[in-house]
Structure 1
Amino acid sequence: MVTDINGFLEYRAAEDGRGPAWHTAQDLGSLYDGCSYDAFGCLFGVRDYANFRPLAAHRGLPADVSGSPGARYSQLTERHGDGGFHDASWITWAELKAIDWDEPAEKPDSRLHTYRRTPVGFRFTGKSTWSRAFAEAVGPRQGQVRLDPGEGQEWPEGSEWLIGDTLYRSVTLRRRDAFPHAEWRPVWHAMKTLAARHGDNAVRLVVWFDS
């Protein structure tokens, strides 16, 4: 079952002579349409197969969340219950700016990374919690190790198995590896632009997930 991210950007500012309040700036869906479990795990502890120390897990919806998105989330959870929308949380631009992108995950990725042999060397092809070819080739020699579909394993960092033309390797990711492509760049740019006017701690990303 696929897990998707939903949410919006907020900024805090005074309005009509009243004290500062949070206002909705932009829906996340207009900036990000990917589905990166490594990013979800790195920031919010959702689908954290890479075993990062999450930076902003289980915070819930902010108590002072801006009106219409907060009402929308409440309606969704009331309609679908815990089986639909879950793991609401938030993170400020100040926290995102402070990330140590070289910080490694707490232990190796629970998915083995796979590489295919080519005439010019091995080429990365993906990562998975289970492979029938790997289970059949390695399982009997591992004794007590379970190799069930969908269940991630823990292998020592750097462990490798060459099975046919496929190399399986245990890898520990760093935070920067969770954001290897440009898909999050519009989100960061929008938050940075808002922060230039309102301040780093006055801009936040509010999210929830559905599976």
Structure 2
Amino acid sequence: MGADIHGFVECRATHGVLDEDDEIRWWPAVDLDLLYDGRCYDAFGCLFGVRNHAGFRPPAGGRGLPEDVTAEVRQAYGVWGRDAHGASWISWAELAAVDRDGPAEAVDARVEEYSLAPTRGWVCTGKSFRDTGGRPEGAAWIQDSRLLRTVRMLRRDAVPTDGPWAPVRRVMSALTGVHGAVNVRLVVRFDG
């Protein structure tokens, strides 16, 4: 069974706050389902430690729901009941500070698979769990008419800025421009 991500971008609105006594609270800004429609275990592992086959040290692994999470997000989490797991959150400030060139701590538990395309050469078709025979990082070999490679991923490959996460980044960045980086966060949970 696969794992999917769900959640919300939350924002602590500083807009219109008159003085220190005014309450600054979190608001559910956008449901993640409206921005992201993917299942990328490399991103899940890189950011939150869920399905972390690539061996990253996640900056926001296992945090649970924030204490001050909005009622809407807490309710959405509760609907999933026992099927929800891996709840966590990451602020825009933390996400922006992640070293995009940082490597995973280990070689990916999966191997990259390539098929030979007549006009393009070897084309990556995905990843799979296969016995590497103890081959080291960077090893390449042919098996079952496929080129297989062991790799150590970089964070920019796990969560590319122009990939499926781009809309999430754009929304969080836009809110940050108004309210500040520490006042925007992504709160997530996983199923499966």
Do the structures match in fold with TM over 0.5? Answer: yes
Partner of residue 176, structure 1:
156
- Matches of 1:183 and 1:72, distance apart in 2: 23
Paired letter, 1:30: L
Q: Is residue 88 of structure 1 aligned with residue 87 of structure 2?
A: yes
What are the within-5 Å matches in structure 2 for residues 1-211 of structure 1?
Answer: 1-13=1-13, 18-77=22-81, 81=82, 84-119=83-118, 120-130=120-130, 142=133, 155-163=135-143, 165-180=145-160, 181-211=162-192
What amino acid maps onto 2:94 in structure 1? E
Deviations 1:61-99 (A, max 9, x none): 00000112212313432xxx2xx1101000000011111
CA 1:63–1:112 in structure 2 vs 1: closer, same or farther (change >3 Å)?
Answer: same
- State the SS of the aligned residue for 1:182: coil
Query: 1:108–1:155: 8 Å Cα contact kept in structure 2?
Result: no
Shift of 1:122: 1.6
- Distance (whole Å) between structure 1 residues aligned to residue 71 and residue 22 of structure 2: 16
CA contact (8 A) 1:49 1:111 kept: yes
Structure 1 pair 197/7, CA: closer, same or farther in 2 (3 Å)? same
Listed as ranges, the gaps of 5+ residues in structure 2 are: none
- Please state which structure has a larger fraction of its residues in helix: 1
Q: 1:23 to 1:155 in 2, by over 3 A?
A: farther
Tell me how far 1:184 sits from its aligned partner: 0.8
TM-score (norm 2): 0.90
Q: Distance in 2 between matches of 1:72 and 1:111?
A: 33
Instruction: Determine the C-alpha separation between the residues in 2 that align with 1:118 and 1:43.
Output: 33
> Which amino acid letter does the alignment assign opposite residue 171 of structure 1?
V
Secondary structure of residue in 1 paired with 2:55: coil
Superimposed CA distance per residue, residues 162-182 of structure 1 (whole angstroms, 9 cap, x where no aligned partner)? 125311110111001112452
* Uncovered stretches (5+) of structure 1, i.e. residues with no partner: 143-153
CA spacing shift, 1:23–1:2, aligned 2, 3 Å: same
User: Using the alignment, how far apart are the partners of 1:207 and 1:11 within structure 2?
Assistant: 14
